[in-house]
């Protein structure tokens, strides 16, 4: 018997945000019932207090607690990863969701436009590695070498960090026959994209245009998301010397008279607690919250701290030199063949079964992302500065609203897509790898629970090179989709 399940699947999808909320409530309730703070926080014992259990904090806490002599406390503002995070297709629903995200919005880009942007940041163990698009990319060796030059510390050089990449990796990606360059015994599982409609056309077209791009690789295990929580914390939850306190939002770092950090305050279940450390406080709170916490603790630009009533301890440019890979979605490039992922058509009861039983199919896909590559604009011939992420994603009712939700663009994508509903398409996320523009982060006030103010200052570089570079990337992509045999002529 054939049953039309389109309506059923769409119905299930519209439930996802509500289910994420419900799981969030249940996770917090479970924590309230089963973990008790008071007995645990013996103020004498910790060697290390790690602030933030996100992409970095999970790794730091796990590596430090490998030594049984170290007593490690990990403080995380959110809870365990939401169960939906395991299903890559739900990624867009996790971003900006109150149960899984800090829900940051930037300051308006200019006084007149009022336009601002959302900056999704994962909240909970695993941090943004629990809510992102899972793409695995090491980065350009030149960048590491440049950091070594700037810091005067060779340890940042690519030759030195490569060892740690290998040590981290459990690599099953597309270059798995080149294991000299990759590791197989580390905790972080990496797999190639499994569900990738239209990928071959893109790779061929790019080749015609003279570049080499590659299929995406994800931090994924048998199709399920593999965050730094999955890789580093979950296997080590029973270590007696690693304590994790969830729903604990650190509000201040304390220092002794020599300005050595010796403890932190944090808010948990409405009450403020204090914990000391014998050795170190390690701040792993991410770009935004790390800067915020340092400033709240008196480390930051002197005048700014005074202006929000914080007693300055050290005058440093914390929150300055903010750089973001500004990105824009190019497309939709309409296709005349059904070679893109069209959720209402392609997500079926069978594909749900395929994911559950075999870890493959459209549910293993973070919204149709398939391939990735870098190119150089004419201003940076030796050092690729444009990043292209290809999404093979047909336009369907609701996609516009989803993108508007991620980006905070009101009805922009909803309107843009409204005349293309049910047509196959590709979209490309074009972003600037080495932006010249810099912004800054400041405190709104002295209240540690206020959100800081983010000023990205995109495209503000004096020579306007950033926007010029983006235009070149845009032209390259249009050429790809209009003029190559594999894409423009064929599809």
Please give the residue ranges that form the binding site for ligand NAG (CB under 6 A).
Answer: 34-36, 39, 133, 142, 145-146, 149, 194, 325, 327, 354, 358-360, 387, 389, 406, 429, 431
Spatial CA neighbour of 294 closest among 316, 309, 276: 316
Residue 256 near residue 276 (C-beta atoms within 8 A): no
| Alpha carbon 279 to its chain's center | 30
Residue 102 near residue 128 (C-beta atoms within 8 A): no
Q: 425 forms bridges with which residues in the sheet?
A: 334
Per DSSP bridges, beta strands 242-245 and 280-283 are: unpaired
Q: Which is nearer to ligand NAG, 305 or 326 (CB)?
A: 326
Cα atoms in the Cβ-side hemisphere of radius 13 Å centred on 351: 20
Q: Which is nearer to ligand NAG, 140 or 251 (CB)?
A: 140
Measured distance between the N- and C-terminal CA atoms of the chain, rounded to whole angstroms: 34
- Residue 269's CB is within 10 A of a number of other CB atoms, namely 11
For residue 447, the minimal CB distance to ligand NAG (Å) is 28
For residue 354, the minimal CB distance to ligand NAG (Å) is 5
Q: Which is nearer to ligand NAG, 40 or 184 (CB)?
A: 40
Spatial CA neighbour of 343 closest among 200, 195, 133: 195
Instruction: Round to whole Å and give the CA distance between 443 and 289.
Output: 10
For residue 334, the minimal CB distance to ligand NAG (Å) is 19
E strand or H helix at 169, and its extent? Answer: strand 169-171
Q: Which is nearer to ligand NAG, 261 or 339 (CB)?
A: 339
Q: Which is nearer to ligand NAG, 10 or 374 (CB)?
A: 374
Q: Which is nearer to ligand NAG, 144 or 304 (CB)?
A: 144
Residue 487 DSSP symbol: I
For residue 309, the minimal CB distance to ligand NAG (Å) is 34
Instruction: Round to whole Å and give the CA distance between 485 and 491.
Output: 9
The first and second tokens of residue 5, run together, are: 């399940």
Backbone angles phi, psi at 201, to 5 degrees: -60, -45
Q: Reply yes or no: is the peptide bond before residue 332 cis, omega within 30 of 0.
A: yes
Q: Which is nearer to ligand NAG, 86 or 389 (CB)?
A: 389
Q: Which is nearer to ligand NAG, 170 or 354 (CB)?
A: 354
């Amino acid at each position: 018997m054939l049953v039309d399940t389109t309506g059923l699947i769409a119905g299930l999808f519209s439930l996802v945000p509500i289910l994420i909320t419900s799981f969030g409530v249940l996770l917090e309730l479970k924590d309230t019932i089963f973990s008790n703070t008071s007995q645990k926080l013996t103020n004498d014992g910790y060697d290390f207090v790690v602030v933030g259990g996100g992409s970095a904090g999970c790794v730091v806490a796990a590596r430090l607690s490998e030594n049984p002599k170290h007593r490690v406390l990990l403080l995380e503002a959110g809870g365990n990863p939401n169960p939906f995070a395991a299903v890559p297709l739900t990624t867009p629903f996790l971003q900006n969701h109150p149960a899984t995200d800090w829900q940051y919005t930037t300051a308006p880009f200019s006084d007149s436009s009022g336009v601002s942007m959302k900056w999704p940041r994962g909240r909970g163990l695993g941090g943004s590695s629990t809510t992102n698009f899972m793409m695995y990319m090491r980065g350009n060796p030149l960048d590491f070498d440049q950091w070594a030059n700037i810091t005067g510390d060779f340890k940042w050089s690519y030759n030195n960090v490569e060892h740690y990449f290998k040590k981290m990796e459990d690599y099953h990606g597309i270059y798995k026959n080149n294991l000299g360059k990759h590791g197989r015994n580390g905790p972080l599982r990496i797999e190639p994209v499994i569900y990738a409609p239209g990928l071959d056309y893109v790779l061929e077209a790019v080749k015609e245009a003279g570049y080499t791009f590659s299929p995406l690789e994800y931090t994924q295990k048998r199709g399920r998301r593999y965050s730094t929580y999955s890789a580093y914390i979950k296997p080590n939850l029973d270590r007696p010397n690693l304590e994790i306190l969830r729903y604990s939002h650190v509000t201040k770092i304390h220092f002794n008279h020599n300005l050595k950090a010796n403890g932190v305050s944090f808010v948990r279940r409405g009450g403020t607690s204090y914990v000391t450390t014998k050795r170190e406080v390690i701040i792993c709170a991410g770009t935004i919250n790390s800067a915020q916490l340092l400033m709240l603790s008196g480390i930051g630009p002197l005048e700014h701290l005074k202006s929000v009533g914080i007693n300055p301890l050290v005058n440093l440019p914390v929150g300055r030199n903010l750089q973001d890979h500004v990105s824009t979605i190019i497309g939709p490039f309409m296709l005349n063949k059904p070679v893109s992922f069209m959720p209402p058509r392609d997500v079926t009861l069978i594909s749900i079964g395929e994911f559950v039983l075999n870890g493959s199919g459209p549910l293993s896909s973070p919204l149709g992302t398939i391939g990735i590559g870098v190119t150089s604009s004419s201003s940076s011939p030796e050092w690729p500065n444009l990043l292209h992420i290809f999404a093979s994603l047909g336009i369907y009712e609701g996609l516009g609203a989803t993108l508007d939700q991620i980006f905070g663009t009101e009805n922009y994508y909803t309107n843009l897509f409204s005349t293309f509903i049910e047509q196959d398409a590709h979209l490309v996320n074009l972003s600037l790898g080495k932006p010249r523009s810099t912004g800054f982060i400041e405190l709104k006030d002295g209240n540690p629970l206020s959100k800081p103010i983010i000023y990205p200052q995109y495209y503000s570089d004096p020579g306007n090179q950033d926007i010029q570079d983006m235009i070149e990337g845009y032209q390259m992509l249009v050429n790809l989709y209009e003029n190559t045999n594999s894409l423009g002529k064929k599809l």
